Amino acid sequence: MTGLRRFIAISLVVFPVAVFYILLVGLLPGCGGGGDDSGGPPAAAQTPGQPTVTGSTTISAQEVAMHNSPDDCWIIISNKVYDVSSYIKLHPGGSDTITPYCGEEATHAFETKDLSREEDHSGFAYSHLDSLYVGDLGG
């Protein structure tokens, strides 16, 4: 019985630590990643369409429209272009929430979670846009 008690004692310590770590790094949707409890971006976070990445690449709507499949998916959020191809399969809401917008404008869908809920994405989602930024919409 001593082995079982030791296992239970260790489990009672390891499990909460593991849950805390998962929440801390933002692996659960809507949790961690620097966001606040409201699910919106933290006060210091970038808003969509204003990535910290700097560049002068201008991309036409016609160019974005050519990237219209799940394997090659660009979307427009607040006149900024993002390549979300590598993220589609990782999206907590499922790939079906993004794929209808491949090659298209997706600002309203992003800001309202595709009308499924009138709430904002997490701070993590906003900050993750930076790594997916391709350029500004133009022409």
Question: What is residue 75's predicted lDDT score, i.e. its pLDDT?
Answer: 96
Phi, psi torsion values for 34, nearest 5 degrees:
95, 0
Question: What is residue 31's predicted lDDT score, i.e. its pLDDT?
Answer: 42
Residue 121: closest CA among 49, 22, 14, 15: 49
* Domain topology for 33-137: Flavocytochrome B2; Chain A, domain 1 (3.10.120)
Question: What is residue 10's predicted lDDT score, i.e. its pLDDT?
Answer: 76
pLDDT tens digits along 9-54: 777 766 666 655 555 555 444 444 444 444 443 333 344 444 444 4
Per mean pLDDT, which range of 4-8, 67-71, 113-117 is the poorest?
113-117
pLDDT tens digits along 47-88: 444 444 445 689 999 999 999 999 999 999 999 999 999 999
CA distance 102 to 76: 9
Question: What is residue 94's predicted lDDT score, i.e. its pLDDT?
Answer: 86
pTM for this one?
Answer: 0.59
Average pLDDT of the chain to the nearest whole number: 74
Report the number of secondary-structure helices (H) and strands (E) in the chain.
Answer: 4, 5
Question: What is residue 40's predicted lDDT score, i.e. its pLDDT?
Answer: 40
Domain boundaries, the chain: 33-137
